[in-house]
Amino acid sequence: MTKGPAPRPKPATPEIDAAPMVRCAQCGVHVPRDRALSQDQQWYCTETHRLQGPAARDR
Ligand SMILES: [Zn+2]
């Protein structure tokens, strides 16, 4: 039997603090940065949108 130290409860840290939101350059949705994909200093919500690149909204 293992008799290690009792498991310490994790401090209740709001996940929002640990995961700043970024905006997908393709569709504009906000996603946690640790789940977003970055390319060319842009962020994307999914691999699909990363491949599509930034939305063409120049005008
Ligand atoms: Zn997107």
Instruction: Judge contact between 50 and 44, C-beta under 8 A.
Output: yes
Q: Enumerate residues 6+ apart whose C-beta is below 8 A from 20.
A: 32, 33
| Interval between CA 48 and ligand 1 midpoint (Å) | 8
Q: What is the pLDDT of residues 2-11, one digit of tens each?
A: 778 888 887 7
pLDDT of residue 56: 84
Residues facing residue 36 across a β-bridge: none
pLDDT of residue 17: 63
| Interval between CA 24 and ligand 1 midpoint (Å) | 5
Q: What is the pLDDT of residues 25-50, one digit of tens each?
A: 999 999 999 999 999 999 999 999 99
Rounded CA separation 31/52 (Å): 17
Place of tokens 């498991």: 7
| Interval between CA 9 and ligand 1 midpoint (Å) | 36
Place of tokens 């209740």: 12
pLDDT confidence of 59, banded at 50, 70, 90? low
